[in-house]
Amino acid sequence: MPAPQSNVTLYGRSCTVCSHQHVGDIDAGLVAHLPIAQLARQFEVSRDSLYRHLKWHLRPALQEVLTSTPETRPVALVERLAEIANDARAARTTAYAAGNSQLGARLGEAERRALDSLADRFQINHDSVAADRTKVSQLARALDTALDASPELASLVADALDAEGLTELADGIRAELPSDPEMKGVAS
């Protein structure tokens, strides 16, 4: 862990914890979320000193490490969890194909844990997915109604879908448009 930017407090005094002979053990205890009162007793420093050290010295040092180390950036962690889940899925499939159901089950559990970690990270749960699906269905019905009522809107939506690379959907909407110029503005 890098040394703090400065071990001087806001009042110009040296940080009691930074200058303590067991600063590494204290930092390890703080990172492990040991009770502040326990650390204060064990290392004979005040609770206020521990809180100040945590806020002004330890947290910034940890944040610097987390953001500067490529493997610990949030995106890298998410990518690694996805890799673990994919690797576990592939290995599980191979294990079951080879007739090793015990290994397949253990690998399936590893995949589930990785996916659960991803779901927790993105705050995804069954209820939120179900609610999102319901909203998507409602949006699709509302869009269908609007497209049926307005060929001009349907044409605009088809063009926007084309721009997004969704040509099959765009072609499907265009196929529903009235072909007779006098039918413009009339729902099909």
pLDDT at 45: 95
Query: Does pLDDT of 51 surpass 80?
Result: yes
State the Cα–Cα distance between residues 184 and 171, nearest whole angstrom.
18
pLDDT at 1: 43
Query: Does pLDDT of 188 surpass 50?
Result: no
pLDDT at 38: 94
Query: Does pLDDT of 173 surpass 50?
Result: yes
- Domains of the chain, by residue range, sit at 1-68, 74-121, 126-183
Query: Does pLDDT of 180 surpass 60?
Result: no
Mean predicted confidence (pLDDT) in 150-161:
90
State the Cα–Cα distance between residues 106 and 98, nearest whole angstrom.
14
> Which residues make beta-bridge pairs with 52?
none
Residue type, 86: N
Nearest in space to 56 (alpha carbons), one of 11, 22, 9? 9
pLDDT at 3: 45
Evaluate whether 88 touches 107 at the Cβ level (below 8 Å). Answer: yes
Q: pLDDT grade, residue 183 (50/70/90)?
A: very low
Share of residues in the chain with pLDDT > 70 (%): 77
- Tell me the per-residue pLDDT of 105-137, one tens digit each, with 9 for 90 and over: 888 888 888 878 777 777 777 676 667 778 888
Residue 118 DSSP one-character state: H
- Is the model more confident about 92 or about 43? 43
Query: Does pLDDT of 75 surpass 50?
Result: yes
